[in-house]
Structures are given as structure tokens and as C-alpha cells.
Amino acid sequence: MDKNEKNIENDIMVSICCLSYQHRDYITQALDSFLKQDCDFRFEILIHDDASKDGTREIIERYADRYGDVIRPLYEEENQYQKGIRNLSGVYNFPRARGKYIAMCEGDDFWLDIRKLSTQVAIMEDHPECSMCCHAARIVSMDDSFRELAQLRPYHNDGFIETEDIISRPVNIPTSSLLFRTEYAKELPDWYYQCPVGDIPLHLFMALKGRVFYINRPMSAYRVGGGGSWSSLMDQGDQEQRERRWQEHFEAMERLYLDFDRDSGGRYEASVREAIAREAFKAEINKGHLEVTRLPENDRFFHEMPAAQRSLVRLQLRFPRLYARLQSLWYRTRRRT
């Protein structure tokens, strides 16, 4: 690395890490939301495209040609996720991050607030004991229409979050809200790379490294309903395949929490047990084993579900034939539209 390159590296405050795959219809909105950030420091945009075939790469190339001093793309010729590499950010983006902090956003999500980075960096700079900052997000459908009052709010007030509440919580922290210290992302444990999802082990590790600050304001958008989303891929195939897939996912998440419990010296054992129980409940629901909602030990987890989802579960349990007919009618209607 020559002197000029070293100066550039030292001058970058935030590395925005973005994963893209088949995001042709959304990647422009994501990149524009990054480039519009109103801040008095430099940032870079690291994009890893996992061999998209729908034109996503061509869009990224045009942006990289125009903003070559900011955007640093990495293109795959073969899909790495399908080859078994699950946490692509940790493998391909974090190692090349040059900023003091890393911010994350998937290629089909985007940021809403042009002061998002400035707000989070200011908090991190004021609190050196803080390892990560996150915030609420607004839920957006695939056609960009905002759903009324639909927001991801894992917590209810601004401020530092207790480690126990990072470990076990009913609502996930939006990936598009994360900003954390790059130095910690360079020393991620094996259980981060072994986990089938990248966000939860990242939250857990950052909670071990320092304090986590939460901003109760939706400064990013989380897109739902995509046919290629992780949840839709989990539900593909027949009942036996779905059950096996969700059971394997639960077992992997259980290993994650147990590994975290070991590395934390058992300090948060009660929260770890609760998180594992919640994962087991969600796995059974996704398998279609709705009778678990009737067990007293699952009452809390059942009431953590959205009201509409609880109503559907009750309908299916009490009137399974009616539910099946309504479901069949819904699928037929979707195929016509």
C-alpha cells in the first residue's frame, strides 16, 4: 500500500457494506440512499454481488463507473451462497472495509434518513464504550408502498440496551440499521461463520465487545415479500422438506446460542435459554405444528406474534377445513393477478 492509499484509508469514517443478488429492481434505490447521506466525513460503499443474472451487476457497474472514488464492487462469477458460504458480509466485505465503522444494508433495502450515518457516528464517537448502534425500520412492500404503522421496533426507547435484551427479544434488529466498529468485525468468532444467518451472531458478538445503543426512529426501510427471500426459500418443497429445513435451522441456531453462552462464561444463561426456546417455538410454527401454541410454556411466545398472525393460527386450529378452502382461494386469486 503506497502513501496515498494509506491516507485515503485513514480518511474514511464509514464503510457501507451491501450484499446484492437478483436486486435489479431495488439496487438503484439502495445506492442512491447511500450516496445522498448528508455527513461531514468520507465513506465508501462496498458491494458484493453474488453472481446476479437479472441485470443487477450492470447497474452496479454503471454506478461504479460514475462514483469510482466511493463505490468498490466485488462480482462473483458463481453464486457463493449456493456453494455453502452463508455469511457473505464477513467473508467478502468486512475484510476489505477501510472505515472506522461499518454500516450495513442489503441490496433490496434502503435508507430513509439522509442524516442516518451522521446520527449514528456521532453517538459512537461520543461513547467509546459503544460497540454497535442500531435503530428502528419501516416495513416496505415489494412495490415500495409503505404499510400503515408497520415498523420493526425491537425496543421502545432511545438509549443503551442491556445485553440480556440483545440476546433474547421478540423482534429482530433490522440489518439496515446496523453500524458497528470495524475493528471488531475483523475478529469474528467461528460461530459467526458457522451460523446460517449473519445478523443474529453479529448482534451477539457486538454485545460481548461493548454496549449497544438503540435509536427508536425508523431511519431505514426493510423490504418484505420477495420471492427470493430467505424465508420463502425455507418454505419451498413439500412438507417433509420444509420440516427438515426448519429443524436444521433450529439446531444451527441452538448451537449458536450455546457457543455464545460458552464464550460469555455463562453470564447470560437465562437469556440464552429463553432465546433457544423462542427459536424452537418459531421452528415448530414454520413446520405447521400449530398445536404448540396451546402449550402453557409457549403462551408468551404466541402473544409476541403479530395479532393478524395469531388470528390465522386460531382459525386454522379451530376450523382447519375452512382455513384450507380460504387458503386455496387466496392462491388461485394470486395466480390470476
Reported as a single tens digit per residue, the pLDDT across 148-191 is 448 899 999 999 999 999 999 999 999 999 999 999 999 999 99
Q: What is the pLDDT of residues 110-155, one digit of tens each?
A: 999 999 999 999 999 999 999 999 999 999 887 666 554 488 999 9
DSSP H helical ranges for 160-264: 163-167, 182-185, 190-194, 199-209, 230-234, 239-263
Q: Sign of the CA dihedral 277, 153, 266, 299?
A: negative
Q: Which of 75-96 are b and which e, b meaning 16 or more Cβ less than 10 Å from the residue's Cβ?
A: bbeeebbeeeebbbbbebbbee
Whether the per-residue pLDDT at 336 is higher than 80: the answer is no
Per-residue cell: 181:
466498529
pLDDT at 332: 58
Specify whether domain 3-223 bears CATH 1.20.58.1180. Answer: no
| Residue showing cell 472495509 | 97
The domain locations on the chain are 3-223, 235-305, 313-337
Mean pLDDT of the chain: 90
Q: What is the pLDDT of residues 277-315, one digit of tens each?
A: 999 999 999 998 999 999 999 999 999 998 888 998 898
Kindly report the pTM of this predicted structure. 0.89
- Percent of the chain scoring above 70 in pLDDT: 88
